[in-house]
Amino acid sequence: MLTLAISSRTLFDLNEAHQIYLDQGVTAYREYQLQREEEPLDPGVAFPLVQKLLNIKHPETGAALVEVVLVSRNNGDTGLRIFNSIEYHGLDISRAVFSNGGSPYDYLSALGVELFLSAHHADVIGAIEAGYAAAHLMTRKAAAHTDDQVRVAFDGDAVLFSDESEQIYQSGGLEAFRENEHARRHEPLNPGPFSAFLKKLHDLQSLFPAGEAPIRTALVTARSAPSHKRVILTLRGWGIRIDEALFLGGQDKAKFLQSFKADIFFEDQLTYVESASEHTATGHVPYGITNQKKS
């Protein structure tokens, strides 16, 4: 089973309530939530993804293959509206952590989590430093469903792979990067923060007959030939099949993600995150040298 931990602000649209918290403090926020306890929250940016994931069942037994755990900085009191909204929308979510302002990523190990999605940047950084696949989702309204298949897109360097090649690009430029990738084309890249999550998706896909998997994956990278070879051989060495691979040579990724109909895209560079998030739920992965420089 794949276990996903998701924050309340990415599952539901809590922007109005959060703004009250920022402007007026925790007491006003608590009163606001208690007064609206029976008022269901609208879906948030990750809601369609969660809905699709919860519908994935074992092809033979019909057992659920994905569990979603809610993690929230609310306390149990203010969190009741969130659980009421889960019930209203018919989501099969039974486990939750309400940390009352604390960092919920402390509980990821105990929950057995393999992916953590949050609107709280510091929590995401803490989770990545602790070795989890984690991403910061920019909150917005939920997009409409296109179909029932879950489509997950990944950047390559500093997401699926380590940032070793990106470090060479940053220090020596494009030519140094190309020379390094050519010289080391038969050496696999080291795993990045999302390599284990991709492997988990691959394992779930393998349960289904060819062409019938409810999950479809894509690599969407700024790399181009000839640096593509090392990527392909690395995935082959890991024993992972990725459904689609787009080597875009530095082109903007947003339109390609629209064509792929991605439910979510994981990317380390904010430039691509900002353009992609206009059309696709996009998780910023604050990992690697690019994000260290920005910090």
Annotated catalytic sites, by residue? 155
Report d(CA 37, CA 228) in Å as an integer.
52
What lies within 8 Å, CB to CB, of 168 at 6+ separation is: 176, 177, 180
Own/partner long-range contacts of 117-126 (Cβ < 8 Å, ≥24 apart): 117/4, 117/5, 117/6, 117/7, 117/10, 117/46, 117/283, 118/6, 118/7, 118/9, 118/10, 118/71, 119/7, 119/9, 119/10, 120/7, 120/9, 120/73, 121/286, 123/7, 124/284, 124/286, 125/286
Q: In residues, how long is the chain?
A: 295
